[in-house]
A = this chain, B = another copy of it.
């Protein structure tokens, strides 16, 4: 049988190296996965709108220009993915991560939510829409490995 391939979008937190861990371990195991991610350079992501399309005085519209451009990439990747992994960390509000989880869920994508136990109650609706709540990148990789058995 032809080897199964999986398309996985890694959404959410951009300030730790969890994506690299998942990608590296998956490659070490030879898993046949296409990984995609948002632009994880915080400044590049925040400023892409005004850098390309021109400055805005109001922060609100600066953010809008950037968010709209990032959406081209984000929504393409979610649509292409069969599985979306969403990581919730300790910093920031991370509403964009939860938004992506909701978006992916409505499109019937499989979901793995990655977070510490302390957020279990706050993430109960998000976890309930998911196939797994993982605590570590290793667990995510173990799931990927099993799914591609």
| A48-B146, A69-B143, A95-B94 as given contacts; A124 in contact with B39, CB under 8 Å | no
For this chain, the copies found in one complex come to: 8
- Chain B residues with CB below 8 A from A146, complex form: 39, 44, 48, 52, 69, 73
Contact B68 A76, beta carbon cutoff 8 Å:
no
Secondary structure dominating the interface of A: helix
Contact with B along A58-92 (1 / 0, CB 8 A): 11110111111111111110010011000010001
Residues of A within 8 A of B (CB): 1-2, 4, 6, 23, 34-37, 39, 41, 44, 48-49, 51-53, 57-61, 63-76, 79, 82-83, 88, 92-108, 110, 117, 119-135, 139, 142-143, 146-147, 149
A-B contact pairs, 22 of them (CB 8 A): A52-B143, A53-B133, A53-B134, A60-B133, A65-B132, A68-B128, A68-B130, A68-B132, A69-B131, A69-B147, A71-B131, A73-B146, A92-B122, A93-B123, A95-B122, A96-B126, A97-B98, A98-B102, A99-B125, A102-B102, A104-B106, A108-B108
